[in-house]
């Protein structure tokens, strides 16, 4: 009975694991970006979570998690929320957390954001 109770507590108390997939290759001294496609919501304006491991030793943190929006038809994006962590892969201590960081801005062609747009919105 104690084993069953312990197992149930572990299952109920465990974190909800995101299904992060890498969207960029690992290159020396460059950031690597990930997205959890299960978080993509919306029709013409998509919302989703992504994170980055920063390539160089960054005094502002080694990784960051961002809640993003992309306007599929207008080629625009904005960051709704951003959390920065001291360690890679969203580990270590939370260094900073900010809401409503950026207003809508253009998605540069050939950028990571352009690739994200293709992933979450489909091909134009």
Determine the pLDDT at residue 6.
39
Q: In CATH, what number is assigned to the domain containing residue 83? A: 2.40.128.710
9, part of any domain: no
Task: Report strand pairing: 32-41 vs 20-22.
Answer: antiparallel
Identify the domain containing residue 101 by its residue range.
Answer: 19-121
As given in the structure block, the two tokens for residue 59 are 């005094």
Q: Is residue 39 part of a domain?
A: yes
Q: Model's pTM, two decimal places? A: 0.78
Q: Helix, strand or coil for residue 120?
A: helix
Mean pLDDT of the chain: 83
DSSP track, 40-73: EE-SSEEEEEEEEE-SS--TT-SEEEEEEEEETT
Q: pLDDT 10s per residue in the chain (124 long)?
A: 444 333 333 333 333 457 899 988 766 678 899 999 999 999 999 999 999 998 776 667 899 999 999 999 999 999 999 999 999 999 999 999 999 877 899 999 999 999 999 999 986 5
User: How many domains would you assign to the chain?
Assistant: 1
Q: What local confidence, expressed as pLDDT, does residue 17 receive?
A: 58
82 part of a folded domain: yes
- The pLDDT of residue 25: 74
- Euclidean distance between the first and the last CA atom of the chain, given in angstroms as a whole number: 56
């Amino acid at each position: 009975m104690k084993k069953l109770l312990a197992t149930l507590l572990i299952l109920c108390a465990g974190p909800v694991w995101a299904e992060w997939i890498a969207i960029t290759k690992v290159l020396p001294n460059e950031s690597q970006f990930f997205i959890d496609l299960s978080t993509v919501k919306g029709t013409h304006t998509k919302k989703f979570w992504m994170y980055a491991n920063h390539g160089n030793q960054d005094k502002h943190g080694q990784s960051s998690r961002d809640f993003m929006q992309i306007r599929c038809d207008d080629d625009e994006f904005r960051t709704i929320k951003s959390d920065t962590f001291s360690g890679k892969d969203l580990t270590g201590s939370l260094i900073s957390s900010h809401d409503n960081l950026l207003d809508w801005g253009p998605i540069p062609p050939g950028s990571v954001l352009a690739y994200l747009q293709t992933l979450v919105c489909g091909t134009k």
